[in-house]
Structure 1
Amino acid sequence: MAAAVAQGAGQDAVLLAAAEAMPAILLGARGYVFVCPENLGSMSGQMKEMFDRCYYPLLGRIEGRPYATAISAGSDGAGAQAQMDRIVTGWRLKRVAEPLIVNLGAQTPEQIRAEKSVSEADLGRCRDLGSAFAEGLGLGIF
């Protein structure tokens, strides 16, 4: 999903794994699309660790920048979405797109353990999110 968002955003996008996202890199960005899976009703541990590591170094330094989110979930994604929204509220980021939640419907133990794949239609929604985000930045809309 993250790769599809970056593909849609085009050549100016920087795709980083959560472990690679450092405060200096995030400080240099004009906006953010946070993409992660929901695990046990929460954002992934790697994404949480990124926010833990970057929160205070960026506090008061990135206010007003745009953000969007994309979450893959076994059911509703609401827990991960709520966590991310609470954290970026402290950064005073501005949501510029409705949350994109891809429900993979993994509810049984077998489905939960199985490798997941995102449909082409949902990857298209991710590309559209990236494209709209980049276009908004480029036009100075946000």
Structure 2
Amino acid sequence: MSRLLIVHHTTSPTLRELFEEVRRGAAADGIEGVDVITRPALAASAVDVFEADAIILGTPANIGYMSGALKHFFDTIYYPCLEETRRLPYALYVHGNDDTTGAVRAVESIATGLGWERVRPPATVTGPPGKDDLESCWELGATVAATISA
């Protein structure tokens, strides 16, 4: 069975809503052989990443950057995972009140340094999520899960 790891920093009802849509998409009908594992960013470890066949990252955009919790995750796993997780499929969802550009740029820069391969463009949401935003998060989860489906 393949393992999809969702590492998230879910600090608000809006981020909870996005996270739940990503998780629902990852468990969609027709996707078989994928075990979805979720970890808060402050609890996720290099072992979680080593055991994953793909990873989804979720963060708020805080003052133009990813959350401190997701940055801590990267600080913790970067060197242990640097060689072992090259080509790991990944995707990203970000919520911000005004802008998500800096957070997306920061996460993508680190993922590129790790040699991870982006499965699809990030799902970015500013302000309250609309129907299209929620669908984008669902599709993100489904796309990544289908990428590693049996």
Q: Which bin holds the TM-score, normalised by the shorter protein?
A: 0.7 to 0.9
| Equivalence for 1:137 | 148
Shift of 1:90: 1.4
Point out the structure with the larger strand share. Answer: 2
Which ranges in structure 2 are unaligned for 5 or more consecutive residues?
1-17, 28-33
Equivalent of 1:90, from 113, 118, 122?
113
**What's the CA shift for 1:85?**
0.9
Give the structure 1 partner of residue 21 of structure 2: 4
Considering only CA atoms, is the larger Rg found in Structure 1 or Structure 2?
Answer: 1
Deviation readout 1:101-125 (Å, 9 max, x if unpaired): 0011xxxxxxxxxxxx534442222
Q: CA RMSD in A?
A: 1.5
Query: What per-residue deviation string (whole Å, max 9, x for no partner) do you get for residues 34-77 of structure 1?
Result: 11000000001111111111111111010011111100012220
Task: Give TM-score, length-normalised by structure 2.
Answer: 0.79
Normalized per residue, the structure richer in helix is: 1
Paired position in structure 1 for 2:40? 17
The alignment covers a number of residue pairs equal to 127
Query: Which stretches of structure 1, 4 residues or more, deviate above 4 A after TM superposition?
Result: none
In 2 relative to 1, CA 119–15 (structure 1 residues): closer, same or farther, beyond 3 Å?
farther
Contact 2:89 2:118 in 1 (8 A): yes
Q: Which amino acid aligns with 2:36?
A: A
2:64 equivalent in structure 1: 41
Partner in structure 2 of residue 123 of structure 1? 134
Matched position secondary structure for 1:19: coil
Identity of aligned residues (%): 31
